């Protein structure tokens, strides 16, 4: 199922800002929440000038995990390579619908793009970007006025930075749109992630959220939650609903 929400002054940022410039200006320390992070320290590490906590850099991508993190191994990020292209689907797999098929996202994201086009510039955050960069860049019409920041916790993801959705390393009220697809079923505390998304969005900004209700268990031990449409709405109670609905039907779940 999917839902499109708005947070109910815009902060206008200059056009042509690069992802690196954005991160320099709007990142905050996951530990002390200071903006004293210096991305130009070294090629391997950055350090918060306020609390002194160091953070790894993996192929130019900051690894901004809270120092008390006990779930994700930092060495995995240190030794992670750059993401490789996905292998093409071969054989009978070409004729079987994907379990993650979404029959609504193209239409809804087209509507989102129309709304973003009304702004002088737009900053977009993808929470749990995975390998969606190529697809979302195309759908969101990336250009001089739209900047998309991709984040994820997965070491194999194609992202601009690694971070935990429970503690997004950004200042509040920065983004015009947050996109999160097939993510919230994998987090321990969805309400906390929802609150973080709300915090980093501007007033009047938008959220496109997609999560499963009938989908099979996936990602093994890191699959925690399923939501009905009404519970999905309740999760984002601080937002105003624009529209919501199903991404596919029971036949997809059967497949």
DSSP 117-167: TTSSSEEEEEET-TT-HHHHHHHHT-BTTEEEEEEES-TTS--SEEE-GGG
The most confident of 2-11, 84-93, 96-105, 153-162, by mean pLDDT: 153-162
Angle, CA of 226, 185 and 207, to the nearest 5°: 105
Rounded-to-integer distance, Cα 207 and Cα 86, Å: 27
Q: Evaluate if pTM is beyond 0.95.
A: no
The pLDDT tens digits of the residues spanning 112-167 come to 988 888 888 899 999 999 999 988 888 887 666 788 999 999 999 999 999 999 99
The pLDDT tens digits of the residues spanning 17-26 come to 677 778 878 8
Domains of the chain, with CATH numbers?
Answer: 2-13+102-254 (3.40.50.150), 20-78 (no CATH)
Residues 95-124, mean pLDDT to the nearest whole number? 83
């Amino acid at each position: 199922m999917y839902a499109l929400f708005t947070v109910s002054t815009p902060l206008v940022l200059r056009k042509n800002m690069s992802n690196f410039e954005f991160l320099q200006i709007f990142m905050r320390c996951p530990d002390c929440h200071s903006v004293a992070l210096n991305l130009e320290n070294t090629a391997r590490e950055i350090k918060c000038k306020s609390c002194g906590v160091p953070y790894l850099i993996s192929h130019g991508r900051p690894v901004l995990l809270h120092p008390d993190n006990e779930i994700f191994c930092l060495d995995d990020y240190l030794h992670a390579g750059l993401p490789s292209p996905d292998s093409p689907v071969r054989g009978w797999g070409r004729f079987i619908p994907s379990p993650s098929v979404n029959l609504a996202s193209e239409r809804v994201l087209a509507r989102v793009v129309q709304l973003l086009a009304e702004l002088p510039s737009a900053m977009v955050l993808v929470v749990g970007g995975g390998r969606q960069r190529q697809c979302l860049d195309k759908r969101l019409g990336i250009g001089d006025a739209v900047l998309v920041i991709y984040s994820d916790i997965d070491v194999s993801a194609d992202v601009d930075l690694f971070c935990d959705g429970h503690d997004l390393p950004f200042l509040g009220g920065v983004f015009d749109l947050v996109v999160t697809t097939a993510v919230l079923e994998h987090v321990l505390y969805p309400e906390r992630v929802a609150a973080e998304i709300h915090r980093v969005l501007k007033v009047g900004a938008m959220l496109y959220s997609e999560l499963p209700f009938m989908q099979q268990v996936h990602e093994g031990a890191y699959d925690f939650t399923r939501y009905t449409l009404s519970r999905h709405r309740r999760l984002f109670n601080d937002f105003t609903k624009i529209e919501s609905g199903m991404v596919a039907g029971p036949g997809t779940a059967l497949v």
